[in-house]
Chain A
Amino acid sequence: MFEVLLGGLILGGMYGLIALGLNLQYGVSRILNLAYGEFLIGGAFIAFFAVMSRWQLNPLLSLFASVPIAFVLNWLIYRLLMVPLVRRAPDQDALDADVVLATFGLFFVLQGLALVNWSGDLRGYSFLAEGRNVFGAVVALNRLLAFLGACVLALALFLILRHTRVGAALRAITIDPVAAELMGVDVRKFSAIAFAAGGALAATAGMLVSTFNSFSATSGGDYTLKALIVVIMAGVGRVTGTLAAGLLLGVVEQMGGYLLDPGLTLAINFGLFTLILLLRPTGLFTRA
């Protein structure tokens, strides 16, 4: 029982982890990026190739490559692809429609490139694939690492948003981009930074998840979908809320699977999601 609970928390940490970057992109930059999962898978592939390379690198080292690459690419995507859409959109609804179409197209392009370059084979490697005893429960070290990664990243993000000038600007944009602009915040610049940082978080999450999940060039879409569920549950723009929503989802899924039937985990997931949408349509952690 305790092991199931702990497993649920750790799984939930992973859910929070994969959703952090998306929430930053959607919350601050107001871009619902359907190609998000492709950057996550990109991070996973870079880690995979680092491990499988001649030097058999530690997958953590791959972050030195994948994080800057993802940051720059996402910055470029925002500046070149998204800014024209943001400019011409009369309101957020129109922007959402354009962005969904544009990023959906981007998703196909990136996935196609990934398929051509890396084929569709299922990949995976072993890293910290051992159990550790935590108060009588066995926990996989690689999953624990992803959980800790989620906590550290969420905390860091929280502190940056709370206590730095950049953070204050980002929060201002989240609340009201027009007012922020009037107060002298360079909305385009900070939105681009937030979008790029979201991509970098995706690559980091991809690396951490790849230590225990196998993946292929086509897995990106699944991660986007899961991240989206968590973001909507948490409320757009809520960083710590994202982690909390992820944890809730993980625990409910594991406990439900354990108490009822493992075959029901997906049904439980979506049941919880529907319930939250019905009761709190703006998300669990948004202020009214």
Chain B
Amino acid sequence: MDRRTFVKGTAAAVGASTLPAGRAFAQAAAPDKIRFGYAITQSGPLGPGADSTTISQYKLWQKRVNDGGGIMLKKFNKKVPVDFVSYDDQGKPDELLKLTERLIQQDKVDMMLAPYATHMNLAAAPIVTKHEYPVIMTTATTAKTYELGPKWPYAFWNISQPNESAHPLSHALGQLKKDGKVNGRVAVVHVALEFGVEMHAAFVEQAKKDGLEVVLSKSYPLGAADLQPLIREAMAAKPDALVCMSYPPDTFMLTEQCQIVGFNPKLMYVAIGGVFPGMKDKFGAKVNGILVYGGVDPNAPGMAEYNKAHQAMFNRPSEAGAINVYGALQVTQQAIEKVGEIDRKKIRDVIAADTFPTLWGDLKYVSQRNASPWCVGQWQNGEIVGVYPADKSGAKPLLFPKPAWS
């Protein structure tokens, strides 16, 4: 036995038996920070959305974790602060790929965080899998995850995918029809983008199975200047429900123009943008009853402290769509703490297997997809609540029928 082995062995033995000596040993070996890398869109049309939904959450999480001393690494018995290395991918997938390679190979970051928007998350998934970096994708909704998701074991999908988002609406209408509260007539319109097309297809297919009658099914282009003729057509078909697989600008326009022509369906759904604080700024109490993509439990444990910290850091309230991002960061942190060191394979396996309490509810992944994300939310009393899945903790009953506009 040479001297070095002897010292190591003794130190380990002492470290295991007595805490102070253990701490001295740990300080010698523990990393002084955990470096998280991310490439995300900071400039261009998607920059603002990336900032309010994602980057702000990364910064807030970092601050709150570091204020508490950092992430606990059991192996070293030490809390280690979070450090970021980040780049602007300018909204270009090829740029994202280059920067991701750079972060992993050149900057040698310990962990990676997700980029912003569906196509960027899809672009990142194979590359982080190749390098075996576990990443929870927080802003991707696409039917491709059903087929491609299992091929990328290191990518996790946090938010509700098209089927999960659209089916509960159809089920709810089907149930209302069975209860004799509606005739089961539904008008569906969608923005002519991949998201709109997939959501539309998922809904229409399920609607037939649930015994609903799709009385209007039409698309419109992104950036449409006037949707009143489309709304008129929907109105003329006398539907019980208006389902709009929409994007932010048209979400606002559809909501306003329904009011103008006095079209007040018993159930109204708008997709992306429905949770924006701007909806309430613009429409006030008229938002109540509108169903939206995604959801949140405003009374979840920790939410009050989170809201306070968000307001203090950014001087504005958080948007409901950002909570899942914060939840994903909490999952990552808990998984690292369970493993107790930066062993990405083990961290990946823990994320894949365990259940994690977060602001966005208890998160569990099955085949790397969130087993029960918030799918459908609703404006109730001026705030976004989660409605479906109805059995989720914190879910509120559906407000039906939607109150009249005026």
Q: Do A and B come from one complex?
A: yes
Question: Which residues on A are within 8 Å of B, measured CB to CB?
Answer: 3-4, 7, 11, 14-15, 52, 115, 119-126, 129-131, 138, 140, 143, 212-214, 216-218, 222, 250, 253-254, 257-258, 261-266
How long is the Cα–Cα vector from A216 to B261 in the complex, in angstroms?
25
Distance A213 CA – B219 CA, assembled complex (angstroms): 20
Residue numbers in B under 8 Å from A258 (CB-CB): 229
B248 at the interface (CB under 8 A from A): yes
Which residue of A126, A217, A264, A265 is within 8 Å of B283 (Cβ)?
A126
Sorted nearest first, the 6 A-B pairs with minimum C-beta distance are: A120-B48, A214-B252, A124-B282, A263-B219, A131-B260, A140-B260
Is A125 within 8 A of B281, CB to CB? yes
Within 8 A of A (CB), among B188-229: 192, 218-221, 223-229
Whether A123 and B281, one on each chain, are in contact in the complex, defined by CB atoms closer than 8 angstroms, is yes
> Cβ of B316: which chain A residues have Cβ within 8 Å of it?
119
CB neighbours of B48 from chain A (8 A): 115, 119-121, 216-218
- The answer, yes or no, to whether B88 is at the interface (CB within 8 Å) is no
Instruction: Let me know if B362 is at the binding interface, CB within 8 A.
Output: no
Contacts of A222 in B (CB 8 A): 223
Could you say which of B52, B228, B257 contacts A121, with CB atoms under 8 Å apart? B52
Verify A122–B226 contact, CB threshold 8 A: no
**4 further A-B pairs in the complex, CB-CB below 8 A; given A131-B262, A266-B221:** A124-B282, A140-B257, A213-B253, A262-B219
Q: Cβ of B49 < 8 Å from any Cβ of A? A: yes
In B225-263, the 8 Å CB interface with A consists of 225-230, 232, 248-249, 252-253, 256-257, 259-262
CA A258 to CA B224, docked complex, whole Å: 13
**18 A-B pairs whose Cβ atoms sit less than 8 Å apart in the complex:** A3-B228, A3-B229, A11-B225, A15-B225, A120-B49, A120-B51, A120-B52, A124-B282, A125-B281, A129-B259, A129-B260, A131-B262, A214-B253, A262-B220, A262-B230, A263-B218, A263-B221, A265-B225
A124 to B250, CA, bound (A): 12
Contact of A263 with B261 at beta-carbon distance under 8 Å, contacts A121-B278, A122-B276, A124-B282 already known? no
Is B20 part of the binding interface, using a Cβ–Cβ cutoff of 8 Å? no
Inter-subunit contact B225/A4 (CB<8 Å): no
Q: Which residues of B contact A115 (CB under 8 A)?
A: 47-48
Q: Is the interface of B mostly helix, strand, loop or mixed?
A: helix
The answer for the CA separation of A129 and B254 in the assembled complex, in Å, is 12
> Is B45 close to A, CB under 8 A?
yes
Residue numbers in A under 8 Å from B192 (CB-CB):
263
A253 is contacted by which of B219, B225, B228, B259 (Cβ under 8 Å)?
A: B225
B273 within 8 A of A: yes
Task: A212 to B254: give the CA distance in the assembly, Å.
Answer: 11
Interchain CB contact under 8 A, B259 and A262:
no
Residue of B nearest to A8 (CB): B226
Measured between beta carbons, the chain B residues less than 8 angstroms from A257 are 220, 229-230
A254 and B226 within 8 A (CB) = yes
Say whether B282 contacts A126, CB under 8 Å.
yes
- Please give the number of chain B residues whose Cβ is less than 8 angstroms from any Cβ of chain A in the complex: 39
| Distance to closest chain B CB from A120 (angstroms) | 2
CA A11 to CA B192, docked complex, whole Å = 21
The answer to whether the Cβ of B284 comes within 8 Å of any Cβ in the partner chain is: yes
Residue in chain B with minimal CB distance to A249: B225
B277: interface (CB < 8 Å): yes
A214 with B282, Cβ < 8 A, contacts A140-B260, A262-B230 known? yes
Cβ of A124: which chain B residues have Cβ within 8 Å of it? 252, 278, 281-282
Q: Which residues 310-365 of B have a CB within 8 angstroms of A? A: 316
Most chain A CB within a 10 A radius of its CB, from B227, B228, B276, B277: B228
A86, chain B: closest CB distance, angstroms: 31
Q: Is the CB of B52 within 8 A of A119?
A: yes
- Chain A neighbourhood of B283, CB < 8 A: 126
Q: Which of A4, A214, A254, A264 contacts B249 (CB 8 A)?
A: A214
Question: A265 near B224 (CB under 8 angstroms)?
Answer: yes
Q: Which residues of B contact A253 (CB under 8 A)?
A: 225
CB-CB under 8 A from A123, the residues of chain B are 278, 281
Chain A residue with the shortest CB-CB distance to B277? A121
A contact residues around B278 at 8 Å (CB): 121-124, 214
Give the distance in Å from the alpha carbon of A138 to the alpha carbon of B277 in the complex: 29
Contact A126-B256, Cβ < 8 Å, known A131-B262, A138-B261, A140-B228: yes
Partner of B229, one of A4, A126, A140: A4
Bound-state CA distance A160–B262 (Å) is 41
The chain B residue with its CB closest to the CB of A132 is: B260
Q: How far is the CB of B260 from chain A (nearest CB, A)?
A: 4
Q: Which chain B residues lie closer than 8 Å to A130 at the CB level?
A: 259-260
Contact string against A for B residues 265-296, beta-carbon threshold 8 Å, 1 for contact and 0 otherwise: 00000000100111001111000000000000
Contact of B221 among A15, A52, A217, A265 (CB under 8 A): A265
Q: Is the CB of A266 within 8 A of B218?
A: no
Contact indicator A254/B256 (Cβ below 8 Å): no
Contacts of A138 in B (CB 8 A): 228, 260-262
Min Cβ gap B51→A in Å is 7
Q: Are A262 and B281 interface neighbours, CB within 8 A? A: no
- Tell me which residues across on chain B come within 8 A of A125, comparing CB atoms: 281-282
Given A3-B232, A214-B278, A254-B229, the answer on whether A263 and B256 have CB atoms closer than 8 Å is: no
Question: When the two chains form their complex, are residues B273 and A122 in contact, meaning their CB atoms are under 8 A apart?
Answer: yes
Residues of chain A with a CB closer than 8 A to B227's CB: 262
A33 and B42 alpha carbons, distance in the complex (Å): 26
Determine the distance from Cα of A143 to Cα of B45 in the docked complex, in whole angstroms. 26
| Shortest Cβ distance from residue A107 to the other chain B in the assembled complex, whole angstroms | 13
In the complex, what distance in Å separates the CA atom of A125 from the CA atom of B280? 9
B215 to chain A, nearest CB (A): 16
Please give, as numbers and ranges, the residues of chain A lying within 8 Å of B260 by CB-CB distance: 129-131, 138, 140
Q: How far is the CA of A11 from the CA of B229 in the complex (A)?
A: 12
